[in-house]
Structure 1
Amino acid sequence: GLNFYATTWFAAAGDARLAGEKSTDYLESAAAAERIARDLPRVKLVFILREPADRAYSNYVWSRMNGLETEDFATALRLEAQREKELPERLRFARPFSYFSRGLYADLLAPYLQRFSREQMLVLRFEDILIRPGQLAERLHRFLGVSPRPDDAAGIGVINPSNRGVATFDEAVRRDLLMQYVEPNRRLAALLGPQFEQWPT
């Protein structure tokens, strides 16, 4: 329950004004949205969305490096729906083969948009953080209601510096994937603003 959650993850928070966590799993769970709304109705939610084609390939690289993926990327995309159905129960929480569907952000955000006001939600583009980290850090601080400290973003290095032996993103596959995301990105832009229809490249 909520007490276990608080004592397990935030026991050291003391009288801190804010406490938070990060997880990629919550965005993919309508049940999580429902439970958060029930237990933490005044919560502030920050979502960081990566351009979906690049996110899909990054997901693929992770699955390859962790021994879950043996197919080439194009084949993995073609087999996605079938493989998700056949995935053992113990691996379904990780969704290691959901390369395309995890980029359908309008669908994934819907349970949160239904339960929380827009004032409680900040949705950022991953690419904007790379381009202007200080500006985005200031925006995040203001959203959380704490004093802006743009220098908090200084010195952040690359977390995943290379694909470590995985083939580079085939340009033809990338173009095809970008086309498949055109309509989903339009739906996302209708919800959040035109900046989510075209990502920086």
Structure 2
Amino acid sequence: MADAAPAGPVKLVILPRTRLGLGRAGLRRHLETVHGPMVVAEPAVSGGFTGYVHHYAQDLAGLPLLDDRDAVTVIRFAEPAAMAASKASEAYRLRVGPDEDNFRERDGSIALFAAERVVAPGADDALAKLLVFRAARGVDIERWALALAAIAARDDVHGVVTNLARVVEGDFPFTQFDEIGLAAGADPTVIAGVLADLAEPVLAPAATRHLLVEPVRFI
């Protein structure tokens, strides 16, 4: 877990680099059947969580992709002290922390703190999410959230969240990202096109990458 959390609620976003030889399916199996249940079973680790969602990468064609990422984990805490207590616990130090090395490489793994703006609730409980990462600077998050209201109103969208990101572990060029919950039958390439059109008058041109994921909520 990361340090130097902002004041107030904490949203920690982890993008592990999959352990060599494990592969996408192996990473999902470990997170879903070993690590996730282990975290939930340790109240000293997860008792302060207000949310814990693993996102498993899915195949996606036709869009620039966020390479070499097979999962994204989002953990929410009500306050920084809860995160610090979780990391300092004996259960984390002796069991949960060491298990992280069973599914990820330390070199290349990323941790972010995200300041989120929920445009429409429900993204964490959608059938799938389209994550859109941008290497953007000077983003007016409130103006962008207002623009995103148009996509939140679509029948094929199930929740919209936009975030400003601060890297706290690793090397990651993307400073802003959207989470678009997808309803059944949604075409992520269509949604990405709508987002690009909405962004043109609001956000400065920036390198953009996409990741299609299936969210699975543990807490």
TM-score, normalised to structure 1, is 0.27
Between Structure 1 and Structure 2, which shows a larger proportion of helix residues?
1
- Whichever of the two has the greater Rg, that structure is 1
Name which structure has the greater RCO, CA cutoff 8 Å, separation 6+: 2
Between Structure 1 and Structure 2, which shows a larger proportion of strand residues?
2
